[in-house]
Amino acid sequence: MTDLLTMILTAIGLIFFAVGSLGLIRFPDSPSRLHALTKADNLGLGFIVLGVAFQAPGAAALLKLFLIWALAIFSAGASAQLVGRIALDSGRSDASGSKR
Amino acid sequence: MSDWALLIATGLLLTSAVALWRIARGPHRADRMMAAQLVGTSGIAIVLLLALVVDDWAMLDVAIVLALLAALSVIAYAKSAYDAGYGDPEEDQAPSQEPSDD
C-alpha cells in the first residue's frame, strides 16, 4: 500500500518537473519562464518528498525530508523575486542586460 | 520499488539536461540562473530518490546542503548584478541624489 502510494506520488512529481522544464524551453520571455520554473518545480519536489516520506524509517528522516522541502520553497520564493527583478530591469533599460 | 525510484531519477536527469540546454542557449543571464536553479531543484529530488534506493538516509543531509547552496547561489548572483546598496528602499526613493559612495 505504501509502496503504491510512493510510486504514484513520485510519478506525479516527475510529471510536474517535466512540465516545468517544458515551460523553461518553450516560453518566450524571462518572466514567463520564471513563472513556469519556480511554481511547477517546487510542487514536483513536494510530491517527490511526499512519496519518499512514505518509505522513511523514522521520525528524524521524516522531519528532515520536510525541512528540505520547506527550504526549497523559501529559497524559491526569494530567488523568484530577485531574478524577476533583474530580468525586468534589463528588459526595461537596454539589451545589454547589465545595470552597473 | 528501487527500480521504480531509479526510473524516476532517470527522468529527473533528463529534465536537468533540458536545463543545461537553456544554460547554453541563454539569451539573458537571468535565464541561465533560472536553469541553474532547476538543476539544483532536480538535483535535490534525485538525491532523495537515491537515498530511497540505497536505503542510506544520511544522504538527506546532502540534499539539505544542495538546497542551501541553490539558495545562496541565486542571492550571490543578484548581489553581483547590481551596485552595492541597490534594492534599499531609501535609496530607491531618491534617485536624483548624487551617487553615494559605498
Instruction: Identify which has the larger pLDDT, B49 or B90.
Output: B49
- Nearest CB to A57: which of B57, B67, B71? B57
Task: Give the cell for residue A9.
Answer: 506520488
Average pLDDT of every residue of chain B: 82
Q: Do A83 and B34 touch (CB under 8 A)?
A: yes
Q: Lowest mean pLDDT of A47-51, A95-99, B16-20, B34-38, name the range.
A: A95-99
Asked whether the predicted pLDDT for residue A47 surpasses 90, the reply is yes
pLDDT value of residue B55: 86
Query: Is pLDDT at B4 greater than 80 in this prediction?
Result: yes
Distance CA B68, CA B76 (A): 12
What ranges do the domains of chain A cover? 2-92
Q: Please state the pTM of the whole predicted model.
A: 0.81
Choice between A72 and B81, residue whose per-residue pLDDT is larger:
A72
When CB atoms are compared, the residue of B5, B30, B41 closest to A72 is B41
Helix residue spans in chain B (DSSP H): 2-25, 29-54, 59-81, 89-93
B71 and A74: CB-CB below 8 Å?
A: yes
Q: Is the pLDDT of residue A99 over 70?
A: no
What does the pLDDT read at residue A87?
Answer: 78
CB contact under 8 A, B34 and A41: no
Residue A87 has its nearest CB partner, among B28, B37, B87, at B28
Per CB-CB distance under 8 Å, the chain B contacts of A65 are 48, 60
CB contact under 8 A, A83 and B77: yes
Percentage of residues in chain B having pLDDT higher than 90 = 25
- Å between B102 CA and nearest CA of chain A: 14
**A81 Cα to chain B: minimum distance (Å):** 10
What is the rounded CA–CA span in Å between residue A33 and residue A47? Answer: 21
pLDDT digit string, tens, across residues A53-79: 988 888 888 999 999 999 989 988 888
Residue B91: pLDDT band (50, 70, 90) is low
**A55–B1 CB contact, under 8 Å:** yes
**Confidence check on the interface: ipTM exceeds 0.90, yes or no:** no
Query: What does the pLDDT read at residue B84?
Result: 66
A51-79 in b/e form (b: 16+ CB < 10 A) is bbbbbbeeeebbebbeebbebbbebbeeb
Q: Best-predicted range by mean pLDDT among A33-42, A47-56, B23-32?
A: A47-56
Q: Give per-residue pLDDT as tens, B23-60.
A: 888 788 888 888 888 888 999 999 999 998 998 888 99
